[in-house]
Structures are given as C-alpha cells and as structure tokens.
Chains A and B, each alone.
Chain A
Amino acid sequence: EAGVAQSPRYKIIEKRQSVAFWCNPISGHATLYWYQQILGQGPKLLIQFQNNGVVDDSQLPKDRFSAERLKGVDSTLKIQPAKLEDSAVYLCASSLVSPGTGFRGTQYFGPGTRLLVL
C-alpha cells in the first residue's frame, strides 16, 4: 500500500512570497489533515477534511492560509503572504475514518514539507 505523498519536500522562500504544498493521501482514505510542526514542538492541526468538506479549521490562520481538497482526494495548502514564523514542517496525514472509531481510524503521516521563510 502506498503511503501519504507530499511535495515538495523542501522549500525556501522570502517573506511576503507565496507557497503551496501538495498532498496525496492513501487511496480510499476519507479524512485528510494538515498539521504545522514547529521545530521542537508537536504537530498542531491546521485543517481537517472529511471527503472534500472542511470539518475543523479552527486553528488555521485564515488571513494567510488556505486549503482545498477537490474531489475528496488530493489537497493543497497555500500560504500567502508568508511570514518568518511560518517556518516549520507541514505534515499531511490521512485516515480511513475519523480516528478513535476503530483500527481504520489510524492516522498515517506523510514525510512532510520543510518550509524556511527568510
């Protein structure tokens, strides 16, 4: 079974520039998550999709971050304009159903995209 794919793996931009990250979840996984992981901290949920609908974006800085999941499969996360404090690893994860409802709820993480904002 192929894992969660993310691209690019690394990105360096200057502040105020725009950047976009792409995620391809495991086939058949209805739930998709974007997390921000700042160095030395645990992942923080930015947005959660169930199929192509948003179920939780309470911690997404909506003035600069946006995300979409067209057709309930791939997803993109965009930052515009980027700030220095956005430097972090952006992790995408997927699960068959929402976690906690059974084995199928396990979250599988991609390798992440490392963003450096100069």
Chain B
Amino acid sequence: GENVEQHPSTLSVQEGDSAVIKCTYSDSASNYFPWYKQELGKGPQLIIDIRSNVGEKKDQRIAVTLNKTAKHFSLHITETQPEDSAVYFCAASMNSGGYQKVTFGTGTKLQVIP
C-alpha cells in the first residue's frame, strides 16, 4: 500500500517568516495530493490540493509543489500569522478498485511565534 512520510514533525517560525513542510510518497499511482489543517478540537480542513498533472499551485499565502519523479510534494506558507498555528497533514490519493484511496502523513505541528 501507499506510504506517506511527512517532515518535520514540529516547526516553529517567527510571525512573518515562511514555513515549509515536506512529504514523500511511495506509490507512483498516487495522483491527487491534498493538504489539511487541523486546529485543536476540530476535524481536518482542506486548505489546498494539487493533481499529478500540475507542478505547482498557489492560493494567496499558500502554495504547493509536486515533483512526480522524486515522489515529493511540499507545502509553503509565506508571511505566517499566529492563526496559521495548527497541525498540518499531507495526503496522497490513488485509484484503488475504482475508488480513490487516501493515505495521510503523520502531521506537522506548526507554531507561529508573534
């Protein structure tokens, strides 16, 4: 099955700095890569996603890059704000038996220091 590794497990940045979270996946059949933000006591919320036919996608302060050859994708948050503090999960999704199967990374706890 698919295996998704995520680094770092914790990340502290000063407000206004950038944060980068990296993930690798093992199965080249994965074709969809969402990123989720999970705040304390809440369920994960999709913040950005990218498909395998695209190398980069940006939405305001958030961007995701994908390197299919290296099986590597990253989340970039610029001009971080205290409200960006949360746990971030990457995921990889592939077709399996006619349905998409999603595998999550282990999470990165981001702390933005005011």
Contact = CB atoms under 8 A, between A and B. Distances in A.
Verify that A and B bind, or say they do not. Answer: yes
Interface of A: 4, 31, 40-45, 48, 50, 55-56, 91, 93, 98-101, 105-112
B54 interface: no
Sorting the interface of chain B by its residue count into under 10, 10 to 19, 20 to 34 or 35 or more gives 20 to 34
A111 B42 CA distance: 5
A100 B105 contact: no
A67 to B, nearest CB: 16
A48 B99 CA distance: 10
Contacts of A43: 44, 89, 104
Interface string B50-86: 0100000000000000000000000000000000000
Contacts of B4: 42
A101 B96 CA distance: 13
B20 interface: no
Contacts of B44: 43, 91, 109
Contact of B100 (A44, A100, A108, A109): A100
A52 B51 CA distance: 28
Given A100-B95, A108-B46, 19 more contacts: A4-B43, A40-B107, A42-B4, A42-B106, A42-B107, A43-B89, A43-B104, A44-B104, A48-B99, A56-B97, A98-B100, A99-B93, A99-B100, A100-B100, A107-B34, A107-B46, A109-B36, A110-B43, A112-B43
